[in-house]
Amino acid sequence: MYRQVKNFYIDLSEKKADNAIELAAWTHAEFVRIHPFADGNGTTSRLIMNCQLLANGFLPISIAKESRLDYFNALEAYAVHWDLAPFADMIASLEELQLDLYLGIIDRQRERQ
């Protein structure tokens, strides 16, 4: 387990942020796949993912309880088949929703001025 976590952080430092969404998705999915703790792996991985998003100029996201099945299926696609695309697509869609929300807030503020 120690070696897997160590390799995770080595891999993370070597990955390039050419695609920040994919980097954030990989960070989350890989940490969950390693599963280093008895409890709190999901929470920790979502925190690390949002740190990656923020560090690359994106907004933090949250995954609604209603999306839990899609979330688990996307993570399973990575864990079993090394297919990150379903999870990266999910993160991109959630990021788009957050951006739309924030842009709506900005528009409403401008209309009040």
Query: Which one of the listed residues 6, 35, 68, 81 is annotated catalytic?
Result: 35
Amino acid at 11: D
**Containing H/E element for 20?**
helix 20-34
C-alpha–C-alpha distance, residues 22 and 51, integer Å? 13
User: What angle do helix axes 85-112 and 68-81 make, rounded to 10 degrees?
Assistant: 140
**CB of 81 closer than 8 Å to CB of 71:** no
C-alpha–C-alpha distance, residues 14 and 7, integer Å? 10
Catalytic site includes residue 81:
no
Amino acid at 66: E
Q: Which residues are catalytic?
A: 35
